[in-house]
């Protein structure tokens, strides 16, 4: 039964990575690097929300 929490664990890991990227973006001094990190953070955060929805059984991710 170790696989029962895999989607929730994946979503949590994705949220943590998104937070790390957002923090790195705040520290970045180069505007282009900051924008790249912010965009990547948003993308991962959006995917984690979709993953959470799928783990909860919601077949229609929120837009």
Domain count, the chain: 1
Residue 50 lies in a domain: yes
For the residues 28-56, what does the mean pLDDT come to? Answer: 90
For the residues 46-53, what does the mean pLDDT come to? Answer: 84
**What pTM, to 2 d.p., does this model score?**
0.74
Residue 60 lies in a domain: no
The reported pLDDT for the residue numbered 1 is: 41
Residue 45 lies in a domain: yes
Residue 48 lies in a domain: yes
The reported pLDDT for the residue numbered 49 is: 86
Task: Tell me the C-alpha to C-alpha distance, in Å, between residue 14 and each of 26, 30, 51.
Answer: 19, 25, 9
Q: Which residues of 26-59 are buried (b: 16+ CB within 10 A; e: fewer)?
A: eeeeeeeeeeebbebbeebbebbbebbbebeeee
Percent of the chain with pLDDT over 90: 56
Q: Which domain holds residue 20?
A: 8-55
Residue 27 lies in a domain: yes
For the residues 20-39, what does the mean pLDDT come to? Answer: 97
Residue 2 lies in a domain: no
Residue 3 lies in a domain: no
What does the mean pLDDT of the chain come to?
84
Residue 61 lies in a domain: no
């Amino acid at each position: 039964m170790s696989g029962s929490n895999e989607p929730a664990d994946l979503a949590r890991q994705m949220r943590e990575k998104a937070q790390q990227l957002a923090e790195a973006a705040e520290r970045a001094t180069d505007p282009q690097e900051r924008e790249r990190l912010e965009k990547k953070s948003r993308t991962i955060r959006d995917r984690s929300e979709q993953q959470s929805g799928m783990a909860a059984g919601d077949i229609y991710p929120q837009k």
